[in-house]
Chain A
Amino acid sequence: MTMTLDEDRLDETFAALANSTRRAILGRLADGAATVNELAEPFAMTLPAISKHIKVLERAGLVVRGQRAQYRPCALDGARLEEVSTWAEQYRPVWEARFDRMADYLTQLQPQQKTRRTR
């Protein structure tokens, strides 16, 4: 079901955002693309540690890596961030699925209802 996919995707995005280092990286990228080395500068962290954070952001669809040269600069992918920027919208598919289940459950509860009410 697409709803499950969306949910998984959102989980991934929110998990990626639930980390101050990664949010700081996103903040830096909001000013423009940067290499991993540049991104690592403000942090007291090893390059592999920063790379790991970037990979998480990449998997979550928040950051894209350039293909050119070995620098492969990182850039923000804003679409996903906007998609998740309101908490309420992420609940819409959850509620829609709940009410689908409610409708199914109601049909089970009152099987004769259907025929009686169909005109």
Chain B
Amino acid sequence: MTDTSDSQDAVTIERTFDAPVDLIWQMWTEPQHFAAWYGPDGATIPVAKMDVRVGGTRLISMRVQTPNGAMQMWFVGEYREVVDNKRLVYTESMSDEKGNMLSPADMGMPPGHPATTEVRVELEDVGGRTKMVMTHVGIPADSSGGAGWAMAFDKLAARVSAHTNT
């Protein structure tokens, strides 16, 4: 794989879809298609603004039903690589509805959650079908606060495993 330099935590998923590569590209780049699959069950994507070009902005809103009523979350990001039908890279951060970034800790996100993550999608035509490799990777926090948080948590996890292994 091309993106192995990251020591950062990442998740990579590979899938092959029975659809042509340009249709899979549209799944990621056209709001109405994106909204159809992206939200978790019971969630909707009321807003998906996608300026799909390098440096272009994306703003996604996800509306989730919780026991305490509907909750609306916003995610802002920027396209970093756009190679039609081949490779798409964009960043993602939690934000308000205007696209102002919010800190993950303020949003009650897990400790150690990076403020900005990057989603990389690589598509390959395999005889009319499409092989897709998606990597979701954390971008090291530039705020020392965020890093401190993550370190404290790692330390705690290490102490816990040391403790439970004895």
Contact = CB atoms under 8 A, between A and B. Distances in A.
B108 A96 contact: no
A30 B19 contact: no
Given A14-B108, A78-B164, A97 B40 contact: yes
A114 interface: yes
9 shortest interchain CB distances as A-B pairs: A78-B164, A102-B37, A78-B160, A30-B159, A88-B9, A101-B37, A85-B157, A88-B11, A14-B110
A1 B153 CA distance: 30
Contact of B138 (A1, A17, A88, A98): A88
A117 B156 contact: no
Contact of A81 (B108, B114, B136, B156): B156
B156 A23 contact: yes
Contacts of A49: none
A38 to B, nearest CB: 16
Interface string A13-37: 0110110000100110011100000
Given A32-B163, A110-B23, A81 B10 contact: no
Interface residues of A, number: 45
Contact of B13 (A17, A26, A31, A99): A99
Contact of A105 (B37, B111, B113): B37
Given A113-B18, A117-B18, A89 B11 contact: yes
Interface in B98-136: 105, 108-114, 128-129, 132, 134, 136
Contacts of B160: 26, 30, 76, 78, 81-82
Given A98-B37, A102-B27, A114-B18, A15 B108 contact: yes
Interface of A: 1, 4, 7, 14-15, 17-18, 23, 26-27, 30-32, 76, 78-79, 81-82, 84-92, 94-99, 101-107, 109-110, 113-114, 117
Interface of B: 9-11, 13, 15, 17-19, 23-24, 27, 33, 36-38, 40-41, 105, 108-114, 128-129, 132, 134, 136-138, 152-154, 156-157, 159-161, 163-164
Contact of B153 (A85, A91, A97): A85
Contacts of B17: 102-103, 106
Contacts of B134: 95, 99
B138 A105 contact: no
B136 A91 contact: yes
Contacts of B161: 78, 82
Nearest to A102: B37
Nearest to A33: B163
A113 B19 contact: yes
A84 B109 CA distance: 12
